[in-house]
Amino acid sequence: MGDHGPAKGFGRWLFTTNHKDIGSMYLWFSFAMFLMGGVFALVIRAELFQPGLQLVEPEFFNQMTTMHGLVMVFGAVMPAFVGLANWMIPMMVGAPDMALPRMNNWSFWILPFAFTLLASTLLMEGGGPNFGWTFYAPLSTTYAPPSVTYFIFAVHIMGASSIMGSINIIATILNMRAPGMTLMKMPLFVWTWLITAYLLIAVMPVLAGCVTMMLMDIHFGTSFFSAAGGGDPVLFQHVFWFFGHPEVYIMILPAFGIVSAIIPTFARKPLFGYASMVYATASIAFLSFIVWAHHMFTVGMPIAGELFFMYATMLIAVPTGVKVFNWVTTMFRGSMTFETPMLFAIAFVILFTIGGFSGLMLSIAPADFQYHDTYFVVAHFHYVLVPGAVFSIFAAVYYWLPKWCGNMYDERLGKAHFWLSFVGLNLTFFPMHFVGLAGMPRRIPDYALQFADFNQVASMGAFLFGFSQVFFLFIVIKTIRGGEKATDAVWDNPEGLEWTIPSPAPYHTFTTPPPIK
């Protein structure tokens, strides 16, 4: 079995059931989507470079904000984490492959169809989705362009893919661990993914229900979201955010797992509180289900609801704080080196914490009346998603790439990529705090003159950040094609089963379970 290599040609990728192949395909796909969503973002930033309409019309601008959000959330961040899960979870728990390899193939291969369908709406008559990635009704139903039906179908496919992926991950973690790999011995990346997978299974059907109700309203004369027929547009928001809030944690919990693997390696010191990290992750996951209406503070909820969602949201700061304190204490009195994965991980901790601070500010309902739907919110969620989710993915790629392809990346280039990204993203998103507080609403193609200076800075930062990612592509390809050979351990005494196998990892690993200490 062990010497059974990959098949030849394109068939290898089309029919593969190998977790490493599928992981690689997920990662490449998500990077392609990252570039596509990035181009949409650059269209937005180019138009916002100065006041007035210069490059695109407002209709197209709205399609860009919508598609940027959808592609980044469902096409870039989520598939990247699934790709990492595919590669790493079997190797981390000592399993030969994922539990359901054929479904694994299927859950990947429906994604390119979903996103081709979604992207094709841009070329349709009436244009693509233009109602924001949150697609609030009735703008997305009664007032939507005809292409909304394709959008709904694409969302259904993405949901199916995510649900299948999660079932696979749960089945793998619960059934395929090597003997002796108890739950509380699992690496945190495995733990955070286990919890994430449960979140996905819980909320993706809610999203499917939400878009199905839209479909019924549009084509079959129902009025779920139309007051004129006895429905309620606010119902849409409740259903959407019941999915949407756990969704944002789906995009950050695996990142917590990655950072919890990287910091101990480069601090040369065990993670300070493993068990409390597990409990904190579980608490965050639980809280994510009871805070959804903090996205709707201005919707006119009764005060009791407003207070409940405010308190519950503030509470999230506690387990999140536990995580940050744990990472910092892990670094404290360590013996640190600052290779590229560590740089990204440290930037993650700092900038994610800044995003957490603005999150705490947003949770204060009275103050949210001023922040809501402004660039302050845009700054907040980009701080938790870009240096949060995206940086953790970069960190993971630099950390595990030598294991995947057997070659070390070029440390100088990696560091250059880090610093370019770091400067670019802060130039882009930090000024958004200021324009938001000064009163600039989000999702507008043109703005009053007092917001001009910061928008100019943000646009320049965005182009810097965007072009640094092309540089990242170059670094990864260069590493795959050659370079200094990586050792099996790659780093200085890292923890985990993946470092006990050769680099590059053979096509099949752990065909017999490894012994667990």
Partner 1 sequence: MRLIGKQLASKLLWVLGQVLLLPTLLMTSVQAFGASDAVVDEAQRWGLNMTEGVTAVSHEIYDLHMLIFWICVWIGVVVFGVMFYSMMMHRKSSGAVPAKFHESTAVELAWTLIPALILVLMAIPATSSLIKIYDSSEAEINIKIVGYQWKWQYEYLGEDVSFFSNLTTSQDEIYGLAPKGEHYLLEVDEPLVIPINKKVRFLITANDVLHAWWVPALAVKRDAIPGFVNDAWTIIDEPGIYRGQCAELCGKSHGFMPIVVHAMEEADYANWLAGKKDEAEELKAAMSQTFTMDELYARGEKVYQANCVACHGANGGGGLGPSLVGTGITTGPINAHINVMVNGVAGNAVMPVFGNQLNNIDLASVITFKRNAWGNNMGDQLQPVDILTFKKNQ
Rank residues 113 and 338 by Cβ distance to partner 1 and give the closer one. 338
CB 486 within 8 A of CB 476: no
Residue of 269, 415, 478, 508 that binds partner 1 (CB under 8 A): 269
Contact 501, 488 (CB under 8 A): yes
Quick one: which segment of 28-36, 95-103, 227-235, 499-507 binds partner 1 (CB under 8 A)? Answer: 227-235
On whether the CB atoms of residues 233 and 138 are closer than 8 A, the answer is yes
Among residues 490, 477, 453, the alpha carbon closest in space to that of 48 is found at 453
* Window 173 to 192, contacts with partner 1 (CB under 8 A): none
Q: Which two tokens stand for residue 115?
A: 């996103």
The single residue among 101, 112, 132, 504 that binds partner 1, judged by CB under 8 A, is: 132
Residue 250 tokens, joined: 């789906």
Nearest distance, CB of residue 226 and partner 1, angstroms: 8
Residue 456 is a binding residue for partner 1 (CB under 8 A): no
Task: For the segment 100-129, give every residue that binds partner 1 (CB under 8 A).
Answer: none
Cα 67 to Cα 38: distance, rounded to the nearest angstrom:
10
Q: Could you say which residues in the range 303-362 bind partner 1, by CB under 8 A?
A: 303, 306-307, 310-311, 314-315, 317-318, 321-322, 324-325, 328-338, 346, 349-350, 353-354, 357, 360-361
Q: Is the dihedral of CA 55, 40, 65, 455 positive or negative?
A: negative
CB of 163 to partner 1, least distance (A): 29
- Identity of the residue, 131 or 465, whose beta carbon is nearer to partner 1 in the bound complex: 131
Using CB under 8 A as the binding rule, whether residue 216 contacts partner 1 is answered as no
Selected range binding partner 1 among 93-101, 429-437, 465-473, 477-485, rule: CB under 8 A? 429-437
- Contact region with partner 1 (CB under 8 A), list: 21-29, 249-257, 274-282, 378-386: 274-282
The residue assigned the tokens 């802060």 is 426
Of 178 and 438, nearer to partner 1 (C-beta) is 438
| Dihedral, 347, 350, 351, 356 alpha carbons, nearest 10 | 150
The whole-angstrom separation of Cα 438 and Cα 379 is 13
* Contact with partner 1 (CB under 8 A) among 184, 228, 412, 477: 228
Q: Is 298 in the site for partner 1 (CB under 8 A)?
A: yes
Residues 61-80 contacting partner 1, CB under 8 A: 62
Which tokens is 76 given? Answer: 């870039």
55 binds partner 1 (CB under 8 A): no
For 402, the 3-state DSSP assignment is helix
- For partner 1, which stretch binds (CB under 8 A), given 11-19, 32-40, 221-229, 499-507? 221-229
Contacting partner 1 (CB under 8 A), which of 5, 58, 179, 205? 58
Q: Is residue 434 a contact point for partner 1 (CB under 8 A)?
A: yes
In the list 221, 449, 481, 517, the residue contacting partner 1 (rule: CB under 8 A) is: 449
**What are the distances in angstroms from CA 62 to CA 33, 343, 414?**
19, 35, 35
Among 5, 52, 205, 502, binds partner 1 (CB under 8 A): 52
172 lies in the site for partner 1, by CB under 8 A: no
Nearer to partner 1, 107 or 353 (CB): 353
Which residue, 122, 113, 124, 26, is CA-closest to 65?
122
Q: Is 233 in the site for partner 1 (CB under 8 A)?
A: yes
Q: How far is the CB of 411 from partner 1 (least distance, A)?
A: 14
- Which of 424, 445, 461, 514 is in the footprint of partner 1 by CB under 8 A? 445
Nearer to partner 1, 330 or 503 (CB): 330
Residues 366-425 that bind partner 1 (CB under 8 A): 366-367, 369-370, 372-374
Give how many residues touch partner 1 by CB under 8 A: 93
Q: Are 93 and 172 in contact (CB under 8 A)?
A: yes
Catalytic residue numbers read 68, 97, 133, 161-162, 245, 247, 249, 260, 294-295, 320, 323, 442
Tokens standing for residue 140: 């997305």
Using the structure block, give the residue that is written with the tokens 């009735």. Answer: 138
Helix (H, G, I), strand (E, B), or coil: what is residue 52? coil
* Those residues with Cβ within 8 angstroms of residue 356's Cβ, 6 or more apart along the chain or in another chain: 317, 320, 324, 384
235 binds partner 1 (CB under 8 A): no
In the complex, minimum distance from the CB of residue 475 to partner 1, in angstroms, rounded to a whole number = 24
- Across 375-401, b (16+ Cβ under 10 Å) vs e yields bbbbbbbbbbbbbbbbbbbbbbbbbbb
Q: Do the Cβ atoms of 379 and 429 come closer than 8 Å?
A: yes
Six-digit token string for 34: 């990252």
Q: Are 274 and 341 in contact (CB under 8 A)?
A: no
| Sign of the dihedral through C-alpha 68, 72, 76, 78 | negative
Which of the ranges 67-75, 230-238, 378-386, 476-484 carries the binding residues for partner 1, by CB under 8 A?
Answer: 230-238
CB 246 within 8 A of CB 288: yes
Residue 335 Cβ vs partner 1, minimum distance, rounded to whole Å? 4
